[in-house]
Amino acid sequence: MPNCYRCGQYFKSGDFQLRRKVRTGEHLTKQYRSGKTNVYSVRYGPRVVCKGCAKQIDRENRRAQFAPYFGLLALLGFLFILYAAELVIQAINKPPTLSSGVQDEF
């Protein structure tokens, strides 16, 4: 019986099997004299996964695809809050004016 590459869950004989590109390993090559890293590679390959792991992999891929935009959105939100705070401060510090333009004496 085949099993999920990620979680190890066994599939029944009639189950539909999904294939996703998953991380299968990594390789590090070092020069031991200098201690510097020469080559670091990560390997990916198609593997059979269960439905739950396939959903999680798809969600992670979507999140990674839109990750750069979240920082920009947070920056724009912060700038909007600063602008709104500046408008509130200006409205508080502004002296009141009468609509008729003539001051009433009491």
N-term to C-term CA, the chain: 95
The mean pLDDT value of the chain amounts to: 83
pLDDT tens for each residue of 83-99: 999 999 988 888 766 56
Listed range (15-24, 28-37, 74-83) with the worst mean pLDDT: 28-37
Residue extents of the structural domains in the chain = 18-67
With pLDDT > 90 as the criterion, what percentage of the chain qualifies? 23
Please state the pTM of the whole predicted model: 0.55
Encode 87-106: b = buried (16+ Cβ within 10 Å), e = exposed. Answer: eeeeeeeeeeeeeeeeeeee
Question: With 0-12 CB in 10 A as exposed, 13-18 as middle and 19+ as buried, what is 59?
Answer: exposed
Residue 104 has pLDDT above 60, yes or no: no
Q: List, in sequence order, every beta strand (DSSP E) within 1-106.
A: 18-30, 37-49
- pLDDT at position 91, please? 86
